Amino acid sequence: MKLRPALLVFFLLAAPGLCAGQDPLLKQAPPEHELIQLLAGELEYSAGALVTDEGTRPYYLAYTVTDNSSVSVQARFGALQTDRATRSRVLDVDVRVGDYGLDSSHELRGSARGGGFRRGAAGAKRIALENHPAAIRHAAWQATDRAFKDAVETYQQVLTNVQTMVEEESADDFSREDPSVRTEPEAVLEIDRKEWVRRVRAVSAMALAHPLIYSSDVSLVGGATNKYMVTSEQTRIVTGQKLLRVALSASTRAEDGMELSQTQIFNASTEEGLPSEEAMSAAFKEVIDMVLALREAPLVDPYTGPAILLNRASGVFFHEIFGHRIEGHRQKSVDEGQTFTRMIDMQILPAFLNVVDDPTLQRFGGEDLRGFYRYDDEGVAASRVELVKDGVLKTFLLSRSPVLQFNHSNGHGRREPGNDVVSRQGNLMISSSTAVSYRKLREMLVDECEKQNKPYGFLFADITGGFTSTSRGGPQAFKVLPVVVYRIFADGRPDELVRGVDIVGTPLSCFSKIVCTGDDPAVFNGSCGAESGWVPVSAVSPSLLVEQIEIEKRQRSQERLPILTPPIGE
């Protein structure tokens, strides 16, 4: 079966904003917010009055409005390429028919709809940008009607389906949770657009001095997202967050046609956290220098042997290879490979490794974390989840869809507006009880090379992302795409930058080959795409020494170099 290209992680965007008070646990009075009142009024009416001729009613109804403002400025070779501001409001309507035990969200087995979970979002709709009562009520009414009818129909199919198909497990469909009530101040974007236009333009002009840089981009993208959620269980939440990102990238081609690119990203959750012009210039210089260095770097042949994954690269690695496999819904779907489903309380990682996912963490080591949030998209308070303790699997990332003996959400139900919620990662944190200094880790790599009689090992310094197949029909394999790779020689020669390699493997065997970690945890901020859309995430990991890793040649374009000299080189 198909790979899931949606399971790519890109390092994109910026870290989330902290706008609210520091006390998420204090219960508050229901928000007085105008939009909340409006939504709650319509919800109350709908929840009471929605009934089919046969007497079917929803047992759960939720409205979420996601209000997003964003500013995007981008320049290339000293000229502005984009300068725009947009705003949108999307209403998601979630309706459930049936009961907590069995409802309209239940997986349809052997379904012609592609199997697995419903990709509904029947109720998502763009709504008024202003709090216009009649317009918003009308939109909510339309979306609710559609979503309810869809749920009623699906529930009928579910009832038939459970009678005719064999169930692998029989966890409930929806967990019972206490309602959440909270109001955060609304996030407001305060970007000095004029100044940023000037700044991205000025920094991007640095590429004019490098005719071999065929394309480059300097951009700022800032977004403020305010979410308003009301449910029939009396959840009333207003949250506000900002995500800002400055990205600097450059690309070229090697003489053999291989496309080479580099990007550096600054993430921030406040305007003040954005980098200075000097910091941007320095980063852009590094990006350009690295691209030009890669152009001269040799290609390498397929190889199996020891390697170090540098901290940030390890974060991406764990996110892809491990994180996606402990998402709760993958343990329920019959289409999934279920690598870890039956491994609770069993050793799945080396005993010195611990893994938690903690969306409540706002910063780590001075960096804003993009995976930070206080409430997930089902209105459940985010919580620190101990996934692996001393190498032993303890639980999964859970939304309100219970898995095995786990009857409650741990606040990991997430989505991009317009999609159905599934369990997702937030801030995935890897730590180790046998950490050594990076220097020591390198020495261990050299020792490992000698032990295996290899002339060199590899250092993966940066990984852009990767993809993994978790579905049962496909191989349980992964591929990650390193962009900065060094060859480290056993005989003490200086490290050598190389290009054109991908890491491939299978998760279980790969984890068993992790030998040791560094004491140098670092943050990778990115965006993760999967069934429920794109969500901001972070991964924090120390460097890893792996006794055996497999690399293969990267597929590359046969495109020739540009024929004419670039205008900037004239």
Please say whether the beta carbons of 389 and 354 come within 8 A: yes
Helix residue ranges per DSSP H, 459-560? 507-511
* Least spacing, CB of residue 360 vs another protein, in Å: 34
Residue type at 301 in one-letter notation: D
Q: Which residue stretch of 132-140, 181-189, 306-314, 322-330 sits at the interface with another protein (rule: CB under 8 A)? A: 132-140
| DSSP helix/strand/coil, 396 | coil
Site for another protein in 13-42 (CB under 8 A): 42
Give the residue with the Cβ less far from another protein, 143 or 429. Answer: 143
With CB under 8 A as the contact rule, the residue among 24, 30, 78, 179 that binds another protein is 78
CA 284 to CA 216: how far, in whole Å? 10
Give the residue with the Cβ less far from another protein, 52 or 433. Answer: 52
Joined together, the tokens standing for residue 87 give 């705003």
CA 338 to CA 229: how far, in whole Å? 32
Asked whether position 88 contacts another protein by CB under 8 A, the answer is yes
Asked whether position 157 contacts another protein by CB under 8 A, the answer is no
With CB under 8 A as the contact rule, the residue among 8, 9, 13, 46 that binds another protein is 46
Q: Which residue stretch of 126-134, 171-179, 474-482, 503-511 sits at the interface with another protein (rule: CB under 8 A)? A: 126-134
Asked whether position 564 contacts another protein by CB under 8 A, the answer is yes
With CB under 8 A as the contact rule, the residue among 80, 292, 343, 504 that binds another protein is 80
With CB under 8 A as the contact rule, the residue among 50, 294, 308, 398 that binds another protein is 50
With CB under 8 A as the contact rule, the residue among 141, 303, 352, 489 that binds another protein is 141
Q: Of 515, 527, 373, which is closest to residue 442 (Cα–Cα)?
A: 515
CB-CB neighbours of 251 under 10 Å: 17
Asked whether position 568 contacts another protein by CB under 8 A, the answer is yes
Please give the DSSP secondary-structure letter assigned to residue 380: P
Q: How far is CA 135 from CA 237, 377, 397, 449, in A?
A: 22, 24, 38, 68
With CB under 8 A as the contact rule, the residue among 6, 51, 159, 346 that binds another protein is 51
Asked whether position 142 contacts another protein by CB under 8 A, the answer is yes
* Least spacing, CB of residue 296 vs another protein, in Å: 22
Please say whether the beta carbons of 470 and 339 come within 8 A: yes
For the window 196-235, what string marks contact with another protein as x by the rule CB under 8 A? Answer: ------------x-----xx--------------------
Q: Of 325, 338, 330, 308, which is closest to residue 515 (Cα–Cα)?
A: 308
* Least spacing, CB of residue 2 vs another protein, in Å: 20
* Least spacing, CB of residue 379 vs another protein, in Å: 23
Please say whether the beta carbons of 507 and 476 come within 8 A: yes
Asked whether position 6 contacts another protein by CB under 8 A, the answer is no
E strand or H helix at 468: strand 456-468
Give the residue with the Cβ less far from another protein, 35 or 307. Answer: 35
With CB under 8 A as the contact rule, the residue among 49, 55, 163, 345 that binds another protein is 49
* Least spacing, CB of residue 112 vs another protein, in Å: 18
Q: Which residue stretch of 133-141, 276-284, 327-335, 503-511 sits at the interface with another protein (rule: CB under 8 A)? A: 133-141
Asked whether position 115 contacts another protein by CB under 8 A, the answer is no
Size of the site for another protein (CB under 8 A): 50
Task: Match 């399971």 to its residue by tokens.
Answer: 7
Give the residue with the Cβ less far from another protein, 39 or 430. Answer: 39
Q: Left (φ > 0), alpha (ψ -120 to 50) or beta: where does 190 sit?
A: beta
CA 551 to CA 482: how far, in whole Å? 10
For the window 248-277, what string marks contact with another protein as x by the rule CB under 8 A? Answer: ------------------------------
The set of long-range contacts for 287-291, using a CB threshold of 8 Å and a minimum separation of 24, is 287/248, 287/249, 287/250, 287/262, 287/263, 288/206, 288/207, 288/210, 288/213, 288/216, 288/250, 288/262, 290/262, 290/484, 291/213, 291/250, 291/251, 291/252, 291/260, 291/261, 291/262
Q: Which residue stretch of 77-85, 333-341, 348-356, 510-518 sits at the interface with another protein (rule: CB under 8 A)? A: 77-85
Give the residue with the Cβ less far from another protein, 194 or 342. Answer: 194
Q: Which residue stretch of 13-21, 85-93, 264-272, 498-506 sits at the interface with another protein (rule: CB under 8 A)? A: 85-93
- Angle, helices 133-164 vs 34-49, to 10°: value is 50
E strand or H helix at 229: strand 215-231
CA angle 355, 356, 361 (to 5 degrees): 140
Please say whether the beta carbons of 247 and 216 come within 8 A: no
Q: Which residue stretch of 123-131, 293-301, 486-494, 506-514 sits at the interface with another protein (rule: CB under 8 A)? A: 123-131
Do the bridges between strand 496-498 and strand 514-518 make them parallel or antiparallel, or are there none, so unpaired?
Answer: unpaired
Q: How far is CA 345 from CA 348, 393, 423, 528, in A?
A: 9, 5, 20, 28
CA 180 to CA 283: how far, in whole Å? 42
Residues that bind another protein (CB under 8 A): 42, 45-46, 49-52, 75-84, 86-89, 126-130, 132, 134-139, 141-142, 144-145, 148-149, 208, 214-215, 559-560, 562-564, 566-568
